[in-house]
Structure 1
Amino acid sequence: MSESTPTSNRSPIELLLAVLGIPAGGVVQVWMDDHNAGLYRIPDDDHFAAVIGTGTLTRALMAPGRCREICQLQPSIGLLVLQEDRRANRRTDSGYPAGYGSYQVSPATEVIGDPWKDLSEFIARILEPAFTRGELIAVEPGGWHHDRSAPFVLIGATMIDGQTRLVIETQPPVTDSDIWPPSDDPEGPSIAAPLHDGTLRSCGAFAVDAVMRWGVEPWDVTVTYLDPEELPEFRD
């Protein structure tokens, strides 16, 4: 998928649509298609990471009720563009403009800091805004298609006995974990806890503990935003 951006006195720049990964370790992976991905270093990583996951960026539909955030990319000149979803508010909670941000990127040659910690903190940060929008989130391998057989961590909020509670589950089931409880359920364990800052942070740790067992790196996964009202399995 592609579109052209006109520039003065120059030929239009062809921008490719790409699914965004999760910023971790100073890098981000993007998928032009399921067999063509690039790992890039983001110079202004703080600003870039601050707008991803806020619900303000353009998304693409992966399957009914399932969306992922996307960017526009021209690898030959190292240009990555984030565009605002016109249905969203124009500014994030941090005050950054959500749309029309362009970034000069280059192929990643090193990882900075602790990317697993970055992944955990990112997941914890995006949860409450997603719940406010009425969404669930799923951490899954990145790409353009939803694969029902792929591993996932699913996190949502629901009312149980008049109290808002976090619910987190994963597939395949986690075994020999220090934090996931043992379970005989072939569908894997499902954990519910009151929703507050501490449990939101814990969700990041639970997610990372599961993802580390998938044989992937932190930048190999992305977030799928789920609308329960549009999911076939919730309507059946």
Structure 2
Amino acid sequence: MTTDNQLDPTIDDLDPETSVVVTLGSPLGGRIRTWNDDVAQTWIVEDVEHLERLWATGAIGTASLQQAGHHRDVGVLDTANHILCVTTTTPISKFGGLIEGHEHFALKPAPSTKLTKNARKQRWEAFEDFLVTATSHAFDRGETLVIGGPDPDGPSVTIGQMYRSSRRIWAISAAPAPFAELWPVPRPDERDRVTTLAKFNPMLALHTAMRTTDALRSWGVDPYDATITYVQPIEMITGRLSAHSLLDDPVEA
């Protein structure tokens, strides 16, 4: 069994009898939330800096959701020995090729404590940093991001890119329309979904992340419950971002 001093577990430490596949939240403030059959557990991660370096880069293995083309980060959790194993992929070079491996993290159950206002603000800021990273890597892969709570059918923000008359467009869409500081007051026909388009600029990544967390807060999502779903390209064309004929909308400067 893993002890408090065993900070570098290996695959040999995993007990297949007590190991389950879990969906992962983001590592925030040294902690991470996992879900197995909708049962949530919050953990203290011993080597959280290493996990943070991997997070939101596309290096961690994912599993499909029920929606076609939707994927979330997953790991294998040994519930008895408190070890989290994630599959990783590392590019060999810019010319292609991947190295597959595994990383293991010792965990401790986190006590149930209410976050202070300042701590909650810090967790959201850390999540925004991950979103900036996730957006950059997802766009490089031609993917769209959907950010929401654990329920894939719950309120969410979609971040994607598209092309209009050979111009690259940045799109952010929220459903339902959030009544939040960084979002415009929706028109009556926008209350199910509101969308903003802008000329593509990498500098929009941080502002988009801030608008995303602003929407999540307005929906009552806890920072540890915030999840990132990666969506394959076909979903960007036929799914969430095309819900209101976006190509007919004006593009902001």
Look up the match of 1:153: 157
Written as runs of structure 1 = structure 2, the 5 A alignment for 1:3-152 is 7=12, 14-34=18-38, 36-62=39-65, 63-85=67-89, 89=91, 99-109=101-111, 113=119, 114-142=122-150, 146-147=152-153, 150-152=154-156
Cα distance in 2, alignment partners of residues 24 and 11 from structure 1: 27
Higher helix fraction: Structure 1 or Structure 2?
2
Look up the match of 1:199: 204
Of 224-233 and 164-173, the range deviating more from structure 2: 224-233
Shift of 1:89: 2.5
Cα distance in 1, alignment partners of residues 135 and 191 from structure 2: 26
Cα distance in 2, alignment partners of residues 99 and 169 from structure 1: 35
**Cα RMSD for the two superposed structures:** 2.9
Shift of 1:7: 3.8
Mapped contact 2:160–2:236 kept (Cα < 8 A): no
Look up the match of 1:94: none
SS in 2 for 1:54: coil
SS in 2 for 1:187: coil
Mapped contact 1:153–1:168 kept (Cα < 8 A): yes
Cα distance in 2, alignment partners of residues 158 and 73 from structure 1: 37
Q: TM-score, normalised by structure 1?
A: 0.81
Cα distance in 1, alignment partners of residues 205 and 199 from structure 2: 9
Mapped contact 1:51–1:98 kept (Cα < 8 A): no
SS in 2 for 1:183: coil
| Higher RCO (C-alpha 8 Å, min separation 6) | 1
Look up the match of 2:6: none
Number of aligned residue pairs: give it: 218
Shift of 1:90: 5.9
> What's the % identity of the aligned pairs?
24
Q: TM-score, normalised by structure 2?
A: 0.76
Look up the match of 2:246: none
Look up the match of 2:245: none
Instruction: Tell whether 2:174 aligns with 1:166.
Output: no
Instruction: Give the structure with higher Rg (CA).
Output: 2
SS in 1 for 2:59: coil
Deviations 1:153-210 (A, max 9, x none): 10001123433221001112112x3321122112332111233332001111000000
Shift of 1:134: 1.1
Unaligned runs of 5+ in 2: 1-9, 94-98, 243-253
Look up the match of 2:5: none
